[in-house]
Amino acid sequence: MLHEIALRRALPGIVKTYDFSGKWKNELGSIVTLDQEGGKVMGTYTSPVSEPGRPVTGAVIGYVTGMGIVFSVQWTGLQSMTSWVGQLVPVRIGETIIPTLQALWQMVSSVHPGDEWAAINAGADVFTRP
């Protein structure tokens, strides 16, 4: 598997883990609030841009190592889950460094028969602290 070959590039050992605790906002106005204990994160995610035309929320669970993070959301009241994998990228604007979380996501949803093409979606998000 390709991902197993990619593990050859991973640095060995344990490094200081970035603290992702707090609120993060993406380009669509979604807010993820994370509580971190060691290498584990939990929290909530609220998306204002959903098909039902109202904000949707979900519980977050995930892991952190170094400056990398992975977390998943089970959307409340929907047969859908989304996972993000990303890393902290410090972005310099003038003299200020802004912690930025750049992540890729994949979402899987239960759909009606015949709509299987819409069951898995993918994209990218950029989160900053509001």
Domain span at residue 27 reads: 21-128
Over residues 6-37, the pLDDT tens digits come to: 767 777 777 788 999 999 999 999 999 999 99
Residue 50 lies in a domain: yes
Q: Is residue 45 in some structural domain?
A: yes
Q: What is the pTM of this model?
A: 0.89
11 part of a folded domain: no
Residue holding tokens 């200081």? Answer: 16
Residue 6 lies in a domain: no
**Number of domains within the chain:** 1
Average pLDDT over residues 30-58: 91
Instruction: Please say if the pLDDT value at position 42 is more than 80.
Output: yes
> Is 1 inside a domain boundary?
no
Render pLDDT for 68-110 as a digit per residue (tens, 0 to 9). Answer: 999 999 999 999 999 999 999 989 989 999 999 999 999 999 9
CATH number, position 122: 2.40.128.30
Instruction: Kindly state whether residue 15 falls inside one of the protein's structural domains.
Output: no
pLDDT confidence of residue 117? 86
Output the pLDDT for position 65: 94
Q: Which 3-state string (H, E, C) describes the chain?
A: CHHHHHHHHCCCCCCCCCCCCEEEECCCCCEEEEEEECCEEEEEEEECCCCCCCCEEEEEEEEEECCEEEEEEEECCCCEEEEEEEEEEEEEECCEEEEEEEEEEEEEECCCCCCHHHCEEEEEEEEECC
